[in-house]
Amino acid sequence: MNASQAVTTPAKPTYQGNDKLLVGIVLGVLTFWMFAGTVGTVARTMLTDLNGGPIDQITHPTVSLNQMNLAVSITALFSGLFIVFMGGLADRIGRVRIAIAGNVLGIAGSLLLVFAAGGAALPMLLTGRALQGLSAACIMPATMALLKSYWDGAERQRAVSMWSIGSWGGSGVAALFGGFVASNYNWRAIFYVSIVVSLAAIALMWGTPESKAEATAHRRFDAPGLLIFMVTVLALMVVLIFGRQIGWSSPSTLALVAVAVVGAVVFFLVERSRSGPFIDFGLFKNTTFTGATLSNFLLNATIGLLIVSQQMLQIARPELFDPWKAGLLTIGYAVAIIGFIRVGEKLLRRFGPRKPMVWGASIVALACVALVPTNLLVGQYEVLAVIAYTLFGIGLAFYATPSTDAALANLPPAQAGSGAGIYKMASSLGGAIGAALSLTIFSSFLGSGVSIVGELLVTQGIQENAAVRQAGMVTFLFNLVLALIAVISILATVPKGRTYNND
């Protein structure tokens, strides 16, 4: 038995978490995954409202398509950029305090979205979305650290399952909820509800005994590391979102690519030489934590599958699919991910993390395959879409609790917040980069009308939307590759068995 498989008995938490605190935690998590996550589905409706008409009929739009794509991605981007910092800060000044502060930031971000209009619409939209990302950066690692600190053993696994229902389950309900509200009321009502949920989360967490890391674990924050990391990721995101508009081979794009590549190398070298790094690469010596984090990044990147498929249906057949009707197809996703989360927990207890993680990622790959044949007639494709979304939910449900518990169980207690921050950074950056890549691929082929599969597959039915459907097909194939790489990464890094290293 090697070091990564050593069995230790963790100390019982001094304060036992209760259902009141757990509900408050889950509600806080929902404000990001369910409410902020609806923007990908209702983006077209928001564009029409903010511009006073359909985007393709406006000469000088208040908010352009690329700017809306940025608004879709910026929340996850800001969450990813700051989540490790906020996790470390939670370790130092208190995880309950940071979780409550995150809910306050979420309220501020939602208010900006509610009142975004006129000439100030774009800055209010982007600022509001950025604040929602900062809110998630506070809530995610702080609440995960509370799960490790205040629950133990089977009770912690149950708490992780409930947390996963809030995150993965919230993302499953997001398209359905957002589509219903946007189509039957107004998209702004989504964020009124988000404000109420944040207030309830604050009320339920208020008065909980504070949880901090031991004083000996405190260290000076690595500001240079954060700065290098931010510049690197921002350069990459600008290329992904605006590369087509700027020009893929333009000097500006090439310069940004150079900044991203050099920044990544410099960041790795600088972080390895620091005693208190922004990202402690030493945590990745544990193969289980590495496998959980890497596959978490890749599977979260497949969220582009959901965003693009919803937009594709609304663009290809607007007379058949508004946000609500397109979102209704995802009901199997919502039901499956919530219904099977506890199944993932039971699989974890019986088989350990590796098998359910592999099964989950493989089922996500099957979901991608089911969405690929966009050349079919709309009735046939609707059936495939319902099957695909349901498989997507089952796969993520199988994966969620085993992956999260494996990551938490392999964190040293003094680094619970910062380590959880790295794990959730993988979620957020995976979602941001995956969404940006999928939207860029979709928009590029949609805009050019280039056919790369038309010679092999016959596009059935209406031909006017062939470019839209083929753009979707290429995007879904890209997401299939991501899911397959996730399977390989788990097989390569997560050891067999049910033992953890809790040192």
For residue 219 the two structure tokens come to: 């260290």
Residue from 433, 411, 422, 415 nearest 84 by CA: 422
- Our measurement of the distance from residue 67's CA atom to the centroid of its chain's CA atoms, rounded to an integer in Å, reads 19
Give one DSSP letter per residue of 309-350, joined into a string.
HHHHHHHH-TTT--HHHHHHTTHHHHHHHHHHHHHHHHHHHH
For residue 217 the two structure tokens come to: 């674990």
Pairwise CA distance, residues 75 & 233, whole Å: 14
For residue 59 the two structure tokens come to: 């000469």
For residue 297 the two structure tokens come to: 């990044």
- Residue 122, classed as helix, strand or coil, is helix
User: Using an 8 Å Cβ cutoff, are 361 and 295 in contact?
Assistant: yes
Pairwise CA distance, residues 229 & 248, whole Å: 23
Pairwise CA distance, residues 141 & 416, whole Å: 8
Pairwise CA distance, residues 82 & 226, whole Å: 8
Pairwise CA distance, residues 153 & 52, whole Å: 54
Angle at 285 between CA 280 and CA 289, to 5 degrees: 85
Pairwise CA distance, residues 25 & 202, whole Å: 9
Q: Which residues of the chain have pLDDT under 50?
A: 1-12, 216-217, 500-503
- What is the topology classification, in CATH, of domain 16-221+278-493? Growth Hormone; Chain: A; (1.20.1250)
DSSP 8-state class, residue 366: H
Query: Measuring CA to CA, how many Å separate 271 from each of 91, 112, 195, 259, 292?
Result: 20, 36, 38, 17, 21
Residue from 387, 385, 374 nearest 468 by CA: 374
For residue 9 the two structure tokens come to: 């008995």
pLDDT digits (tens, 9 = 90+) for 370-387: 999 888 888 889 999 999
Residues 6+ apart with CB under 8 A from 384: 370, 371, 373, 376
User: Using an 8 Å Cβ cutoff, are 234 and 242 in contact?
Assistant: no
Q: What is the pLDDT, as a whole number, of residue 217?
A: 46
Residue from 494, 472, 418 nearest 87 by CA: 418
Q: What is the pLDDT, as a whole number, of residue 215?
A: 57
pLDDT digits (tens, 9 = 90+) for 411-444: 776 666 667 768 878 887 888 888 888 988 888 8
CB-CB neighbours of 151 under 10 Å: 23
Pairwise CA distance, residues 442 & 446, whole Å: 6
Give one DSSP letter per residue of 10-28, joined into a string.
PPPPSS---HHHHHHHHHH
Angle at 219 between CA 217 and CA 225, to 5 degrees: 130
Pairwise CA distance, residues 97 & 364, whole Å: 36
Angle at 185 between CA 181 and CA 191, to 5 degrees: 55
Pairwise CA distance, residues 485 & 482, whole Å: 5
Q: What is the pLDDT, as a whole number, of residue 7?
A: 39
User: Any idea how long the chain is?
Assistant: 503
Helix (H) / strand (E) element for 109: namely helix 95-114
pTM score, whole prediction: 0.77
- Our measurement of the distance from residue 385's CA atom to the centroid of its chain's CA atoms, rounded to an integer in Å, reads 21
Q: What is the pLDDT, as a whole number, of residue 100?
A: 96
- Residue 277, classed as helix, strand or coil, is coil
Residue appearing with tokens 């397959």 = 484
Q: Where are the domains of the chain?
A: 16-221+278-493, 225-277
- Amino acid at residue number 186: N
